[in-house]
Structure 1
Amino acid sequence: MTTPSTDCRLDGLTGLTPLSATTACPRPEAAYRQLRERWGQVAPVELESGIPAWLVMGYQEIRIVVRDELRFSRDSRHWRLLREGRIGPGSGLLPIMAPRDNAYFSDGAKHRRLRAPLYDGLAALGEQRTARLIRATCDRLIDRIPADGSIDLVASYAAQVPMLTVAALFGITPNLGERLQACVIALFGSGADAQALFGEMETILTGVISAHRAAPADDLTTAFLDHPGHHNDAEVLASMLLTLGAGWETTQVWIAQTLRTMLTDPRFDAQVRGGHLGIDDALDHVLWTDPPMANQPTRWATSDTVLAGRRIARGDALILGLAAANTDPRAGGQDRLDSANRAHLAFGVGLHACPAQRISRLIVRTAVETMLHRLPDMRLAVLAAAVPLHPSPWTRGPAHLPVTATRTRS
């Protein structure tokens, strides 16, 4: 392995590996291995043309970064390239990396204040009531399967279940939920249309907030409006954007990745269907081998520092390679199929650990169990190698998952 050099600076590097190369390749572990062989556990990558960042791939190095918000902040106002005007107004990175008044982009007391409405609102959701809502949504989607038994499990199921569920929890109608889904897809694609569709998402949710101001209801929107942690409607909007955006993308990919693994890995499929691997253990296996959020944005260095032998300059962006960390040989490698393996970092660690772990797991577990019950003989309609990946530098999951199956009664 190349010995890491401490005189490596992002501004002086050219020909960097695009971050999307780690999510678009068939074998990401090979991409991470090549980066490690060249750079060590912290590698320079390119977010978009001319925009560099550090990809933190070491398991322990990620834990160091997320536990030290004094050195590595979540507040993107520290981003040097943004301050210097090097991030153009049309950049596809801005919707997911620009400063926002929500818990994700805050530190310290402000983070604790803005996290409280998310944690309290989600914790107050009754599990039985929410499970019934999710199951009814799953059954309704499965009932739409054509007579010939053909279905794209991503477009018609995995992408629909979490958005329709979370939208309903916020008191958002299904038609608006479907439009919000299109906006979030663009957001995580970080492409040319990301800015415009993010603006549309803000417009939709602003209307939802206004409607709930006029007519409060027993839902998450009203809970966010009433929570003292939110000081104004702009903060409510920011929290709704965070919950719908981050919650939908990772959850739908988690569902799709679990179903893809069952359809393409006979050993995994047999373990789950035979009851040798419990459904929650199966879900954690997917979070270990192919986590939905492969590369998590972002931490920013608040001062010049050193991480794994790399000199990190003040204002540099650091991307957390959650998928890479699970391939770190020091963490035991990736090829593990065992029970109770929750060593993954998919939900984060420390102060910024995901507050929606319970509800996201409930959505995914219910979606997978319902699918296995209703479509017990589903089989992939294409070769496993022909399953396309959704283009995103952040998440890694199938864009389509065409199957044929015989539908049973609910």
Structure 2
Amino acid sequence: MSHPLPPPACPAHARTTGLLPLAEAVGSADPRGTYRRLREQWGSVAKIELEPGVPAWLVMGYRELLTITRQEQVYSRDARNWRDLNDGVVSPRSGLLPMMAWRANVIGADGPEHRRLRQPLDDGVARIDQRRTRRQVETMCAKLIEEFSARGSADLVNEYATIVPMLSIASLFGLDSGEGHELLQALIALFGSADDSQLGNRNFEEILADTLRARRAEPRDDLTTALLGHPNLRDEAEHLQSMVVMISAGNETVTAWISHTLRLMLTDPRFAARMHGGRLGVDDALDEALWRDPPMNNMPARYALRDTELGGQHIRRGDVLILGIAAANDDPAVRSETGEVEPGNRAHLAFSSGAHVCPAQVPARLITRTAVNTVLNLLPDMRLAVPAENVTWRPSPWTRVPVSLPVEFSARYTTAIGPDRKTPH
């Protein structure tokens, strides 16, 4: 017998539609339990609601998710095929649009056009000097920790995990610290898909457009200049949208990845014991975090190009399908009976699959590994300052990022980040 779904965020509307709001699932205390109840009710493909009156299919089956990511001739990435958007069901002021509306970039393209726009991203990632980047990120992490170490307490989300990826990625594109913080606030709004989402998107693009103009006038050795000179990009809009993709996708997801790995260390005694005991290396811990709570719990989107069938559901032309990555990672078809993740298993779908698989897995892992390693080394006795059940989540139908992660530790007055520094004590 199926368990009841959690009470909806908008009871009156939910009684009419009977559909679970997706943001409620992501923000619940137990999203895995919510997805399992949806699976009991619907099977591997469930009808959910993106916002009041806007339905979608949530693809929760591992096999079905691979199907829609690998068959672009049936399931397009181009949002101009979204029937409810074309028919006016989705408001032009909808907070969904910054994440879901079509843009002239690699995310919204299929086939040869996608490959043309993907190449500059792959080439840009290949340019990154991993050794230099690791050193820069390590120094940045140590400096952030130094700022709060004397207090004996910190918020590892807002004082650390949200700052590290943005400043790291911003520096690769030649942006300074102040611009990085501005981008961060804009992106938090964008990924929230709420009333301020479109404003956040405009602010985000304005900062990047200013950076592009500055690099045209004065080229530098950074990724912004590299994109400007790439032969595959034809105009200003494509330069801008390439930056949008690389910075937005890299920041929010790495923030979530750092946060979840540290949260597991602080709240799961089995996970922490395996790490401290040397039975689980840092990279294995990072992958277990991706299995258990992927940064993009749900990823928009694919649009059906014709009537078809998926997971026993009739999919109509123009329907929108959401990649239920967290649910697919928990699919009984691939999940062990015990639920434990075998070290070295990277068959999770946290980076998606198919032609649109994440192009920046290597630098994302580098930044996350360095951030996790540094805080564990410099604050070895840190502990969560609130009960684990009190950790709450930023509102979003897509990403699952803690609102805060307050910790306490032995106060330290200096950190070893340079030759003139004293050893931590």
The one of 392, 403, 406 equivalent to 2:396 is: 392
- Tell me if the contact between 1:42 and 1:54 (Cα under 8 Å) persists in the aligned partners: yes
Separation in 1, partners of 2:415, 2:204:
36
Aligned match of 1:9: none
Report the AA paired with residue 291 of structure 1.
P
The one of 222, 237, 244 equivalent to 1:219 is: 222
- Tell me if the contact between 1:81 and 1:315 (Cα under 8 Å) persists in the aligned partners: yes
Aligned match of 1:238: 241
Matches within 5 A, 1:292-311: 292-311=295-314
- Answering whether residue 161 of structure 2 is matched by residue 158 of structure 1, we say yes
SS across alignment from 2:322: strand
Deviation of residue 335 (structure 1)? 1.6
Aligned length: 400
Report the AA paired with residue 84 of structure 1.
D
Aligned match of 2:9: none
Report the AA paired with residue 167 of structure 1.
A
Separation in 2, partners of 1:198, 1:332:
37
Aligned match of 1:58: 61
Report the AA paired with residue 404 of structure 1.
E
Q: Could you tell me the percent identity over the aligned residues? A: 53
- Tell me if the contact between 2:29 and 2:392 (Cα under 8 Å) persists in the aligned partners: no
The one of 132, 135, 138 equivalent to 2:138 is: 135
Matches within 5 A, 1:77-92: 77-92=80-95
- Answering whether residue 415 of structure 2 is matched by residue 409 of structure 1, we say yes
Report the AA paired with residue 299 of structure 1.
R
* TM-score, normalised by the number of residues in structure 2: 0.92
Aligned match of 1:266: 269
- Tell me if the contact between 2:291 and 2:341 (Cα under 8 Å) persists in the aligned partners: no
Report the AA paired with residue 205 of structure 1.
L
The one of 315, 321, 324 equivalent to 1:321 is: 324
Separation in 1, partners of 2:309, 2:342:
36
SS across alignment from 1:17: coil
Separation in 2, partners of 1:232, 1:48:
34
User: Gapped runs of 5+ residues in structure 2?
Assistant: 3-15, 417-425
Deviation of residue 146 (structure 1)? 5.2
Separation in 1, partners of 2:46, 2:312:
11
- Answering whether residue 342 of structure 2 is matched by residue 338 of structure 1, we say yes
Separation in 1, partners of 2:264, 2:232:
40
Aligned match of 2:362: 358
The one of 40, 45, 52 equivalent to 1:49 is: 52
Q: Encode CA deviations 1:83-129: one digit per residue, 9 max, x unaligned.
A: 11222121000100011111111101110011111110111111111
Separation in 2, partners of 1:337, 1:195:
38
- Tell me if the contact between 1:289 and 1:335 (Cα under 8 Å) persists in the aligned partners: no
Deviation of residue 237 (structure 1)? 0.6
Separation in 1, partners of 2:395, 2:276:
31
Q: Encode CA deviations 1:159-214: one digit per residue, 9 max, x unaligned.
A: 00000000000001110110100011011100100011111111111100000000
Deviation of residue 232 (structure 1)? 0.8
Q: Encode CA deviations 1:223-250: one digit per residue, 9 max, x unaligned.
A: 1111111111111111111111111011
Matches within 5 A, 1:91-102: 91-102=94-105
User: Gapped runs of 5+ residues in structure 1?
Assistant: 3-12
Separation in 2, partners of 1:321, 1:139:
35
Matches within 5 A, 1:172-251: 172-251=175-254
CA RMSD of aligned residues (A): 1.3
- Answering whether residue 125 of structure 2 is matched by residue 122 of structure 1, we say yes
Deviation of residue 148 (structure 1)? 2.2
- Tell me if the contact between 1:183 and 1:197 (Cα under 8 Å) persists in the aligned partners: yes
